[in-house]
Amino acid sequence: MMQVGREEFIEKIFKKNSVFEKEVLNITNEDDRVEIMQILAKFIVGDVLKEELNFLYIQRFSDFTFKPIINILFKEIANEWIYFAMQELSFTKKEALSEIQTKKRVLFIRSLVESYYKNYKHYIFKEIADTFIELVENIPNANIQNRVVNEVLKSDLITYNNMVAVYNFRQLWNMVKNAQNLKQTTLKRLKSDIKKISKQLEKEQLSTQKRDKLSKSLKKNKKELKKLSKRSLDRFDEAIKRFKNTLVNSMLETNY
């Protein structure tokens, strides 16, 4: 690409969000935006900001904060530009960094990041809520005290529209265990079906048509088992679903 043409192309990229999204982030529609934010949500909560956002790692509720999220999103999108510039525009890493660090470019990326955070932060908050439910799920009985859980139960995270989601730890623990049991029942049923089909397939005298049908059913059930195993508890129980929604809605209304 000629130098003049390259500079014009760069200006075009940084002129409109949609152009930057298409060229640099490979995003062309709303589904793409949702997908990338879901991926980033898992990365942010599960890894890079786990000590600030992931209740499985938070030591005390006072450490819980959303403040670093914007900077992490900025860094991730800036890194996408650097990769794009090096691969598609033949920039060196130094040149790509220099381009993105100008005030004009920083303001552009910052604006894009803030737009994404405003419109899609609920995906991050859903991941956060799941970690809290998982923390409670890992507590073996309702008599064990957990500092972070107790601090959350005293916070405004469990209140939305003046409605309190749960009143005490025992109530919450029972809700989570009930959802856990429902999930395990569903998984056991599916595992039993897989075992039955596998035994049928071990029979020597099966028609090709019957064997093909059973093989397809086995593959489908194994795929479903894998998918169900990864599903959060709110997908199995309405009470936990309402509790999770309370956490998410409270986070949407609060700037921690």
What is residue 182's predicted lDDT score, i.e. its pLDDT?
Answer: 92
Q: Where are the alpha helices (DSSP H) in 65-206?
A: 69-88, 93-100, 103-137, 147-153, 169-201
pLDDT at 164: 75
Write down the pLDDT at residue 3.
52
What residues does 164 pair with on adjacent strands?
Answer: 159
**163 or 15, higher pLDDT:** 15
- pLDDT tens digit sequence for 218-251: 999 999 999 999 888 999 889 899 999 999 999 9
CA-CA-CA-CA torsion sign (54, 157, 74, 127)? positive
Q: Cα(16)–Cα(108) distance, rounded to whole angstroms?
A: 9
User: Tokens 């994404």 appear where?
Assistant: 116
| Arithmetic mean of pLDDT, 13-37 | 94
Does the pLDDT value for residue 2 go beyond 80? Answer: no
- pLDDT at residue 38, as a whole number: 95
DSSP letter string, 59-83? SSGGG--STTHHHHHHHHHHHHHHH
The contacts of residue 70 (CB under 8 Å, 6+ apart) are 113, 114, 117
Torsion angle of the four alpha carbons 2, 3, 6, 8, in this order, in degrees rounded to the nearest 10: -110
Q: Per-residue confidence at 26, pLDDT binned at 50, 70, 90?
A: very high
Mean predicted lDDT score pLDDT of the chain: 92
Q: Which amino acid is at 119?
A: N
Token pair belonging to 157: 């995270």
146-166 average pLDDT score: 85
Q: In this predicted structure, what is the pLDDT of residue 165? A: 76
Tally the residues of the chain: 256
Backbone φ and ψ for 164, nearest 5 degrees, come out as -90, 125
pLDDT of residue 226: 93
- Residue 216's H or E segment, with its range, is helix 208-230
Distances (CA, A) of 202 to 194, 196, 199, 206, 217: 13, 10, 5, 9, 14
The arithmetic mean of pLDDT across residues 130-156, rounded, is 93
Percent of the chain with pLDDT over 70: 98
State which H helix or E strand residue 163 sits in: strand 163-164
Structure tokens at 188: 């056991």
Mean pLDDT, range 33-39, rounded to an integer: 95
pTM above 0.85, yes or no: yes
**Average pLDDT of the segment spanning 178-205:** 91
Span of 10-19, 34-43, 105-114 with lowest mean pLDDT: 10-19
pLDDT value, residue 172: 92
Q: Are 56 and 148 in contact (CB under 8 A)?
A: no
